């Protein structure tokens, strides 16, 4: 009996060793390689902060322990970076990207210039699901969303297609607010500077984690007034700030608000190009999960007040697919609400 048990244990150990050996051989060796994490925003801001955090730890969980560097590729609210990842980046694991989480939403709307099918990207995972928050500068004289229905409020944005524009315009069309979009800023940090200089009065969308990371003193000193948060769930730290979906006045508005808010669930994602060699995506996903379990990684995130509310790559892919394949009637309604007057 004892001998039979010993034989079974020996066989089990051999099986495990063979599996581990096969896995190691299947994993790509990144020894001496450099992996770029492309960030689809200008320098500064939450996307870059999370990318730099990942860059310091992800490599230690990949075979060969490659060096990871962060490279900014701003443009068209993340479209430039998405197009690059989909059409240009090598499919060998040396290029990872993070960019505007609303790209699946833009794709569903048929945004011109987007040459990236987001549902085909190789999703590694996401670090956070933080809600976006529309905020105004403390001197704007706007204390609540009701005030924004009575007075015009200047909102800074990169372009008419980004979330800094989309959320305010949607609220104008459905809730009667009077946000006026001022476009032409290079990115979120430039909008923040314009707020501080009082060129504009607010920013239409910025993740709560980004407000905390980039401007903790603004929050501490009450330099910004938070009006509404956009996401599928409220931030635990902001129970008093209304959630956009809770402001819906009918079922149609609830569907519209849910559609535009869904991208927040994939807030800080990382993706590889489509069409990777077999096993490469799984290798990155395993490294991503190992990074999440890394005590040093979690400690640094806590020190920097960076929220961690992760999703797996499969979960990100499911959310992206649900956005891209949203009900046509809802998509058409949102497109119509966001269209400029006269259809120009």
Range(s) of the domain holding residue 123: 26-129+267-329
In a domain, 57, yes or no: yes
- Angle between helix axes 328-338 and 163-175 (nearest 10 degrees) is 90
CATH code assigned at 229: 3.40.190.10
Please give the span between the terminal C-alpha atoms of the chain, in angstroms, as a whole number.
83
In a domain, 182, yes or no: yes
Closest CA to 72 of 48, 92, 91, 93: 48
In a domain, 228, yes or no: yes
pLDDT of residue 342: 53
pLDDT of residue 336: 87
pLDDT of residue 39: 98
E strand or H helix at 53, and its extent?
helix 46-57
Last residue of a domain, one of 263, 288, 315: 263
Phi first, then psi: what are they for 95, rounded to 5°? Answer: -135, 120
Return the ∠ at Cα 303 (arms to 298 and 308), rounded to 5°: 45
Sign of CA dihedral 261, 187, 75, 87: negative
Q: How many residues does the chain have?
A: 344
Number of domains in the chain: 2
Q: What is the pLDDT of residues 28-82, one digit of tens each?
A: 999 999 999 999 998 988 899 999 999 999 999 999 999 999 999 998 889 999 9
In a domain, 307, yes or no: yes
Last residue of a domain, one of 217, 246, 263: 263
Pick from 44-48, 97-101, 295-299, 330-334: least confident: 44-48
Dist. CA 100–CA 323, nearest whole Å = 14
Dist. CA 148–CA 88, nearest whole Å = 43
């Amino acid at each position: 009996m004892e001998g039979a048990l010993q034989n079974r244990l020996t066989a089990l150990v051999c099986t495990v060793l063979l599996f581990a050996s096969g896995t190691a051989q299947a994993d790509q060796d990144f020894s001496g390689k450099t992996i770029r994490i492309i960030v689809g925003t200008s320098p500064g801001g939450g996307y870059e902060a999370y990318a730099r955090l990942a860059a310091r730890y992800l490599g230690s969980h990949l075979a060969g322990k490659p060096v990871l560097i962060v490279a900014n590729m701003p443009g068209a609210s993340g479209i430039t970076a998405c197009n690059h990842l989909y059409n240009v980046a090598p499919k060998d694991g040396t290029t990872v990207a993070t960019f505007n989480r609303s790209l699946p939403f833009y794709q569903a709307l048929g945004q011109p210039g987007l040459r990236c099918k987001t549902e085909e990207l190789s999703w590694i995972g996401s670090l956070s699901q933080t809600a976006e928050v529309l905020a105004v500068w403390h001197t704007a004289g706007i204390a609540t969303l009701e005030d924004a229905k009575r007075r015009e409020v200047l909102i800074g944005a990169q372009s008419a297609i980004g979330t800094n524009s989309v959320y305010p315009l949607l609220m104008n069309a459905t809730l009667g607010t009077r946000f006026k979009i001022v476009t032409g800023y290079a990115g979120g940090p430039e909008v923040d500077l314009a707020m501080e200089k009082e060129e504009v009065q607010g920013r239409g969308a910025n993740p709560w984690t980004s407000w905390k990371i980039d401007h903790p003193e603004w929050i501490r000193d009450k330099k910004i007034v938070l009006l509404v948060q956009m996401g599928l769930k409220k931030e635990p730290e902001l129970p008093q700030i209304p959630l956009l979906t809770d402001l819906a006045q009918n079922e149609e508005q609830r569907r519209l608000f849910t559609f535009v808010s869904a991208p927040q669930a994939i807030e800080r994602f990382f993706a590889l190009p489509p069409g990777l060699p077999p096993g490469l995506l799984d290798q990155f996903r395993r490294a991503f999960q190992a990074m999440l379990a890394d005590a040093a990684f979690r400690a640094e995130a806590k020190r920097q007040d960076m929220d961690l509310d992760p999703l797996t790559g499969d979960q990100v892919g499911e959310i992206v697919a649900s956005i891209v394949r949203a009900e046509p009637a809802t998509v058409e309604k949102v497109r119509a609400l966001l269209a400029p007057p006269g259809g120009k």
